[in-house]
Structure formats: C-alpha cells, structure tokens
Chain A
Amino acid sequence: MKRAHRRLSVPVIALLLCCIWSPNATASMADMMGLGGRSVGMVNATITSATGAEACYMNPANLALMSPGFKAIAGYQGIFADLDSGPYSLDIEGGDGVLAGIAGMIPFGSFLKDRLGVGVLMYLPAKYLMWMHLHYSDDPHFPLYENRYQRLVVRPALGIRIYDSWAVGVSVNYFADLSGYLETRGDSTRSLAARGNLELFSNITADFSVTGEILPGWKTSLMFRMEHFSEADFLTKNQIADLQLNLDIDGTTLFEPASIEFATSYDIAQIGLLAEVGFIWRFWSEYPGSYTILDAEVPSGTMENKVFTPNHYDIGAQDTWELKLGLEETIGFSHGISMMIRGGYAYESAAIKEQTGRTNMLDSDHHKFGFGMGVSWDTGWDLLKRLGLDIGAQLHYMPDRTHTKNEALLIDENLEQDGVQSTNAGYPAITGGGMVGGVACSVSIEL
C-alpha cells in the first residue's frame, strides 16, 4: 500500500516541475477571486486551511503538511461585471475558464521521507491565454478589474516540512514581457516592406509562505507575494525617401502588487466550525498605470521632424489594506458523507486616489461577499479515498465615487478662449462604481 501511495504521487512531482517554466499568471483570476469553489466561497480566507492544489496559490507551505497520496481538482469558473461611470461601462473580456490541479507528497526515502509536498494549479481561460489593454491616458476605466484576470495561470509550488507541524513553501510565478520592433522601408521590388522582431521574454517571481500549528486546532500563516507584471515595449521606425515616422510605445499590463498576508484560524472540531481571519497589505503605490507612454517623432513638413514629449502622469496609486473573515461549517452524515456551508466577507481600501488630473482610473473601496457549499464522500475504497464537489460565489461591491477635476492639472486645449477648454471625459467630474461577481464549481478527488 505504501508503494501504491508512492506511485500515485509521481504525477504530483512531475506536474510541478513540468510547469516551472511555463507561461504563468501575473495578475490573474487567482489574485482577484481565488481558484476553486472553496476559496471563492470564502473570499480567499483559506490561507491556513487550503490543501491540495488550491494550496499552490493560497499557501504553498501547506503542501508539506498533506497526508500521503495525492489530491486532484478540476472545475470551471467565470466572472461578470456591472461597472459603469456615466456613459462608460466595463466589458468583461474572456471572463471564464477551466481550472485543474494536482498535489501530493513526494515519495522520497531516508531523511526526505514525508517532508516534501509539491503541486501545480492551472487556470486555462476559455478565450484568451493573455489579453492586454493599454488605454489612452484619459480613458475612464476600472484598472483593478478590467485587465487582471485574462491570463493563463500555471502555479507550481513546493512545501518543505521543517519541524513537526511547521512548514515553509514557495510558489513560482513565471510570465512573459512583450518586446519588439518594426522597421519599414522600400525594398528591392519597390514595394513597402517591413522587418522586425516580436518576442515574449521570460520573467519570474515567487511567493513565499510559512505556516504552523501553534496549539491543536489553532493555525497561523504568513505569506509574501512578490510584485509581478507584464511590460509591453514596442518600437516602430519607418522611412520612405528622407521622411521618418518613429513611434515608441511603452506600457505595463496585468499588474499585481507585492503583498504581505497574515492569517490565523481556529478549528472548533466539536461543532465542526472553522474560522479564519486574515489581513493583507498590498503595495499598489508602485502601480504605474495602464496607459501607454508614447515617444513619437513624426514628419512636420519642414526639415526637422516633430518630436512629441513622452507623457507621464501621476495616477495617484496608493497602498491598500484588506481585512477578511471566512467561515466553514461542516455537517457530517452517515456513509462518510459530509456537507460544508461556507461564507466570508472582506473589505479592501481603494487603490487609486481621486482622479483630479488627466487620467480617469476609477476605483473605490471594495466590499467582498462570498458564499459557497460543498459535499464530500469518504468512500472507504483503496484507490479513490474521497470525492468532493464545491461551489462558490463571490460578489465585489464598489460604491459610487465621484472624482472632481482640478482645472490647474488639465491641459487647456484651446488657448484662444477664456477658461479651460477640455475634452477630457472626466471633466468637470466623473463618478464610477458598481459590482463584479464570480462563480466557481470544482470537483476534487483524493487518491
């Protein structure tokens, strides 16, 4: 039987290492809503209790505290939005996908016996592996929701048990930057021809965690997630005869800030209740904004080309804090069947200050509500020990927030008329808010 466990754990190791270098999430569905019915239903307040593949994102240290064998998960989830700011509304692009994962203990012997746990969690968007949107500098949009989830997630993780019920873990985040150039000119056939290079470069960050049981039933975890983002840098040089048009586009997409997360939970076994409280500090002040920086040189009709100065704007990004509470009540029935009822609430402060200048990045406080249910069956069989089904829903509510422009910070677009003439969509004021929701359904097996 021991040998069977070892063999069953093989794919766990392999899956982990197979994906260490694969394209991964920067910002992703996991960062926004969580992955899997349980995490979504508890507003991601599962840092101390996540196990199996869900731990690859939530807390990789938990992988080293698993029982022998392996756990696999598969499911579907998606999001929808009802966000608007007057005439502007947010369209969700590619908001659904499939998740799958596997995790288990590595079947090593000697001093590594029952010490290493590994796993990989994947989210495959149904429509796009990656979707990037960089805006005009004055476009009204919701940067924390519009372009954070359209990304393939492959999150391999490793946990190491260092002493008794204490473990450390690391989760690798591998993703890509877009870079390239295009150069156009007349070729030998007198036609206009282009040459250039478009590349997706590798970019790696990692998340680290430590977890442990202070007293029976009382767990605590600390996690640090590195900042990660994708950059797009694109240069075009064009020449016909002696005239040039050069455009250098630079921008940051799919940004996710560094964060420090602390959580503690208590499992009151007598009444089947698990409660977790978590606190997260996210360093959104490093967010450069989702607009492009364009360095342009165009013909001016004279011998000298017209050179446009690159635009840089202070978008007013600021750090956020989040406080969250998750609850899970387990009710046991006969024949090894259990039902779980879950819920959660989280509050996160706004990441963007009032938009008084040219940019119109809309954000306000976030109230997150979660609800979910699960059923599991301890089969008593040798190969398939447990079968589970989890569903979860999450709703983010952003109250309306009005941003009033400071005329001194706007560009007067017609100097010949009195007062400030501006076509900025946020002038003189713009109000934005609304709701974003997500649902997830996942099945899990334990072998």
Chain B
Amino acid sequence: MKSHHLISVVAGFVLAMCCAVSVAMASPLENYGLGAKSISLAASDVATATNYTAGFTNPAGFGLAKDAQFTLGYMYFRNSMKINGEDAGNENTKGVSLGFLYPIHINEDWTFGTGLSLYVPEQRVVRVRLLSPDTPRFLQFDNRVHRLVGSFTNAVSWKGLSIGIGLNLFAGANGRGALFRMSSGPDQPDLADTDLILSLKTRIYPSAGIMWQATDWLRVGFYFTDEVQLEIITATDADMDIDLGFDRLTGYAGAAIEAITYYTPRIFSFGVEAQPVEGLTLTAAIQYMDWSGFPGVLTIVTPKIDLDMDTMEVPIEVPLHKYEDQGFDYQITGAFGVEYGFTAVGVRFDLRAGYKYLPSPLEGLSEEIIILNKERHIIAFGAGFTLPPFAFFLNNTEINLGFQYQIMPDGHRDTLPQASVQSLDYEGQVFGGSADVVLHF
C-alpha cells in the first residue's frame, strides 16, 4: 500500500505540475484604459485619441495627430474584491505608462504618424498564477493586472481619413522543460540533478483601425484586433533509481503540459466624437468582444509514466481534469464621455467625465471551475492642464489626471458538495487613476 502511494506521488508530481492554470485574461489596459485622458473618458475615445493612447484604442489616431508628443505617466488602481466578506487577495495595479508619437506632415493632405505605446507594471513584468479548479478566482482581476504591454504603431492619413496598424509584441512560454534525475542507495552516492530549458517565444500580433474626420465637428472611428492566445508548452521528466529499503524504484515519470496562459478576445470597436459647440466634446464607443473563442482555463496534460518496482507491479491511476464548456460568450460594452475645455490665465483647462458598462462574458457557470465575474459599471472623471512654454521647455506641456470607480454588483454561486465552502458571496470595487505629463514638440 505504501509503494502504491509512493508511485502515485512521484507520477502525480509531474502530472500535476500544471493541472490547473488561471489565465492572464488580457492586459490591464482593457480593464482601465491607457493614459489619464482615456481613463477619465471611461475609454470611450475610439474616435478621439490622437495621442499615445491610440496605440491601444485605435492606431489610426496617430495619423491625425497635429504635433509630436512624448508622454510619461503613472497608473494606480486598488482592486478590492471580497469573497464571503473577506478580502480575496487580488493585488493592486501599479505601473508606468510611456509613449511617443511623431507625425510627419508630408504636405497639406498627407500625414504619416509613427510611435510607441508602452505600459510597464511596477511589481513584475509578467505573472502567471496557477490555481486549482476549485479555487475561487476573479477572472479579470487575477493575472490580468500584471502584464507588460507594448505597441509599435504606424498610420497614414489623407484629408482627414486615417488608417493605422499596430504591432503588439508578446511572449509565449515554451521549452523542453525540466529533466530530473535522482538516484540513491547503499551502493551509490546520492544524486539529485536537473537540466532545465525555458524560453519565451517571440510573438507579434497586429491590430488595425480607421478614423475619419467627417466634418469639423464629427469624427468616427473603427478598431479591430484579433484574438491573442499565448500558451505554455513544456514538459517534465523525472528519471529515478531509488533504493527504498524494502524495494527498488526505477524508471521515469513525466508529463507534457500545454495550457493557455494569456487570452484577449477578438475585438471590434466603433466610436464617435462630436463637438456640438466650441469647447465641448462628446465621445461614445461600443465594443464587441468575442469571448466564445476562449478555450478555457485548464491545461492539457499528456502523461508519460514507466515506473518499475523489483518485486511488484502497481497500477497507476491519476485522475485528471478535462476541458469542459466553461460558459464564455460574446460581450458588448458601451461607453460615453464628455470633455469641456476653456482657457484662463494663459492655461488651457479641460474637464472630463465618462461612464462605461461591461457585461460579464460568462454566460453559464462551470460546476467544477469556480470563476467569479459579473457585470461592471465604470464611472470616470478627470482634468487636463496645458501650460505655455517655460524654463527650458520650448513648447506646450500638458498635465492630465484621470480617475475611475468601478463597481461589480454583489454575486453568489454554489460550489460542489465536497468543496470546503459550498456557498460563495462575492463583490468587487475598483478605484484608482492615472497622471501623466505630455511634452509637445
């Protein structure tokens, strides 16, 4: 009986290396937006952004920029999620945002815009958190807040019609994984050794957008980005030759592991910007996110086991999780914003506010996998100040502040009868903001 357990634990080790994975569901920018201006408009700026934010909301915005810009900003959001009244342990979002945009005005009609947009999380570049299926997790606030995001964007505009393409750099994890060799016994020295190969594979995904300045007061925008799915593909093999005292264990146990570690759905966005009166700007955006293509949060594990005992054969049975329909469906979000600007004492002031509604992408609930998610209401506000040239700054300097308050209504779900907690009441609130400085040249 003891040897049965022994082989199970050895085989189980390699099989269970990644039996469950909590996926990095997109980037923090899809949770909050990028840049103080976009955040204060509740990310309704699909037809508005002509700054570095456009790298993620609509690359075509680079083609309609009037001047070159460099932006440095900081973002902080407190993610307060609770389960049965207790803090769920979701980390806060902290990071630096950077960008530059450089438009080349070829002539009166044609402009070429190029630039970079970057968000770098403060705590860690990437985190992949692994959870067992029965561990409750807030899908969109788990790994999602820890992700380096970068985009290289180019756009061409002609008489107010701009077309842009963004190239987004990602890393997929793969590699041969770990080989272990362990031997021990009275006639040989102890040996425990590892050979490890891990790699981050280069992956580049495009996005595209169109922005059209239809009239002096109306602009429309369309944005598309394809599904991004990053995986971890690796394997673990343990070679063993261990004298157990009462028997000798030889052979190997291993597993090939494949899982989705990062997923962003296919997204279509449509936005409008209108300026009905001098100084007043209205923005609106609607977004279709196709979560139905998401294969799920579990791994595929292919076991390789060949273990022998000198004196007995022991069957190996390690129950494994399998994929199931986890209930993901499409999601349609709506957002609108308002901006009012005026000039006083030589400084340009812009006051901004916005609202966004995000329904949950989960249509049904998996019995085994405890995913907690509900619709969210996002209330946003902010301000901008544009200063004239001073000191060694030769051009205007812009300072933006943006804040958001996100509310996830109370939710409830039941778990399996054998789980330690059968009933889960959950709720979530997010509050935070961003500040950035924009140098114009």
Which of A's residues lie within 8 Å of B, judged by CB? 6-7, 9-11, 13-15, 17-23, 93-94, 107-113, 124-137, 139, 150, 176, 178, 182, 184-185, 187-202, 232, 236, 238-245, 247, 249, 251, 291-292, 294, 296, 298-302, 306, 308-309, 311, 411-416
Contact B193 A137 (CB under 8 A): yes
Given A21-B96, A134-B194, verify A296-B171 contact (CB < 8 Å). no
Cβ of B15 within 8 Å of any chain A Cβ, yes or no, is yes
Report A-chain residues with C-beta under 8 Å of the C-beta of B133. 187, 189, 191, 193
Extra contacts besides A22-B118, A244-B9, A298-B182 (7): CB < 8 Å: A6-B441, A111-B392, A139-B195, A194-B19, A195-B132, A238-B16, A294-B180
Partner of B20, one of A109, A195, A236: A195
Given A188-B415, A240-B9, verify A197-B129 contact (CB < 8 Å). yes
Partner of A18, one of B17, B116, B419: B116
Which of B's residues lie within 8 Å of A, judged by CB? 2-3, 5-6, 8-10, 12-13, 15-20, 68-70, 72, 96, 98-102, 114-116, 118, 120, 124-135, 146, 148, 150, 169, 171, 175, 178-182, 184, 187-202, 242, 244-247, 318-321, 368, 391-394, 415-416, 418-420, 439, 441
Contact B6 A192 (CB under 8 A): no
Report B-chain residues with C-beta under 8 Å of the C-beta of A415. 187-188
Query: In the assembled complex, how far is the CB of residue A237 from the closest CB belonging to chain B, in whole angstroms?
Result: 10
Partner of B16, one of A18, A125, A192: A192
Q: Can you list 15 contacts pairing A with B, beta carbon distance less than 8 Å? A: A15-B100, A18-B98, A23-B125, A113-B392, A124-B169, A134-B197, A184-B17, A189-B134, A194-B20, A197-B130, A198-B129, A240-B9, A241-B9, A298-B10, A301-B245
Contact A194 B130 (CB under 8 A): yes
What CA separation (Å) do A155 and B102 show in the bound complex? 21
User: How many pairs of A and B residues are in contact by the CB < 8 Å rule?
Assistant: 278
Contact A23 B148 (CB under 8 A): yes
Report A-chain residues with C-beta under 8 Å of the C-beta of B130. 182, 194-198
Report A-chain residues with C-beta under 8 Å of the C-beta of B246. 301
Contact A238 B12 (CB under 8 A): yes
Contact A11 B12 (CB under 8 A): no
Query: In the assembled complex, how far is the CB of residue B72 from the closest CB belonging to chain A, in whole angstroms?
Result: 6
Contact A193 B194 (CB under 8 A): no
Report B-chain residues with C-beta under 8 Å of the C-beta of A249. 178, 194, 196
What CA separation (Å) do A412 and B191 show in the bound complex? 12
Query: In the assembled complex, how far is the CB of residue B385 from the closest CB belonging to chain A, in whole angstroms?
Result: 21
Report B-chain residues with C-beta under 8 Å of the C-beta of A13. 70, 100, 439
Report B-chain residues with C-beta under 8 Å of the C-beta of A14. 69-70, 98-102, 115-116
Top-8 shortest CB links A-B: A14-B100, A301-B244, A193-B132, A184-B16, A308-B192, A21-B120, A10-B68, A296-B192
What CA separation (Å) do A249 and B368 show in the bound complex? 32
Partner of A243, one of B6, B17, B392, B439: B6
Partner of B202, one of A129, A135, A239: A129
Contact A241 B5 (CB under 8 A): yes
Contact A184 B190 (CB under 8 A): no
Contact B195 A134 (CB under 8 A): yes
What CA separation (Å) do A302 and B6 show in the bound complex? 10
What CA separation (Å) do A366 and B427 show in the bound complex? 63
Contact A240 B184 (CB under 8 A): no
Report B-chain residues with C-beta under 8 Å of the C-beta of A416. 187
Query: In the assembled complex, how far is the CB of residue A19 from the closest CB belonging to chain B, in whole angstroms?
Result: 7
Report A-chain residues with C-beta under 8 Å of the C-beta of B195. 134-136, 139, 292
Tell me what chain B mostly uses at the interface: helix, strand, loop, or mixed: strand
Contact A10 B70 (CB under 8 A): yes
Given A188-B416, A301-B246, verify A107-B20 contact (CB < 8 Å). no
Query: In the assembled complex, how far is the CB of residue B147 from the closest CB belonging to chain A, in whole angstroms?
Result: 10
Partner of A236, one of B13, B190, B368: B13
Contact A22 B319 (CB under 8 A): no
Contact A301 B116 (CB under 8 A): no
What CA separation (Å) do A202 and B419 show in the bound complex? 37
CB-nearest residue of chain A to B131: A195
Partner of A199, one of B9, B124, B182: B124
Contact B115 A108 (CB under 8 A): no
Report A-chain residues with C-beta under 8 Å of the C-beta of B181. 136
Report B-chain residues with C-beta under 8 Å of the C-beta of A7. 68, 441
Report A-chain residues with C-beta under 8 Å of the C-beta of B368. 189
Most chain B beta-carbon contacts within 10 A, residue among A198, A309, A413: A198
What CA separation (Å) do A184 and B15 show in the bound complex? 9
What CA separation (Å) do A401 and B366 show in the bound complex? 62
Contact A107 B394 (CB under 8 A): yes
What CA separation (Å) do A23 and B200 show in the bound complex? 12
CB-nearest residue of chain A to B394: A109
Report A-chain residues with C-beta under 8 Å of the C-beta of B100. 10-11, 13-15, 17-18
Query: In the assembled complex, how far is the CB of residue A15 from the closest CB belonging to chain B, in whole angstroms?
Result: 6
Report A-chain residues with C-beta under 8 Å of the C-beta of B318. 192
Report A-chain residues with C-beta under 8 Å of the C-beta of B9. 238-241, 243-245, 299
Contact A200 B126 (CB under 8 A): yes
Contact B201 A108 (CB under 8 A): no
Query: In the assembled complex, how far is the CB of residue A299 from the closest CB belonging to chain B, in whole angstroms?
Result: 5
CB-nearest residue of chain B to A295: B192
Contact B202 A128 (CB under 8 A): yes
Report A-chain residues with C-beta under 8 Å of the C-beta of B187. 414-416
What CA separation (Å) do A352 and B360 show in the bound complex? 58
CB-nearest residue of chain A to B70: A14
What CA separation (Å) do A251 and B320 show in the bound complex? 31
Partner of B245, one of A6, A300, A411: A300
Report A-chain residues with C-beta under 8 Å of the C-beta of B171. 129-130
Contact A200 B116 (CB under 8 A): no
Given A178-B198, A197-B129, verify A301-B12 contact (CB < 8 Å). no
CB-nearest residue of chain A to B369: A189
Contact A129 B200 (CB under 8 A): yes
Given A23-B125, A136-B181, A194-B19, verify A126-B5 contact (CB < 8 Å). no
Report A-chain residues with C-beta under 8 Å of the C-beta of B17. 182, 184, 194, 236
CB-nearest residue of chain A to B171: A129
Contact B148 A301 (CB under 8 A): no
What CA separation (Å) do A291 and B320 show in the bound complex? 33
Contact B116 A298 (CB under 8 A): no
What CA separation (Å) do A108 and B128 show in the bound complex? 42
Most chain B beta-carbon contacts within 10 A, residue among A132, A139, A244, A298: A298
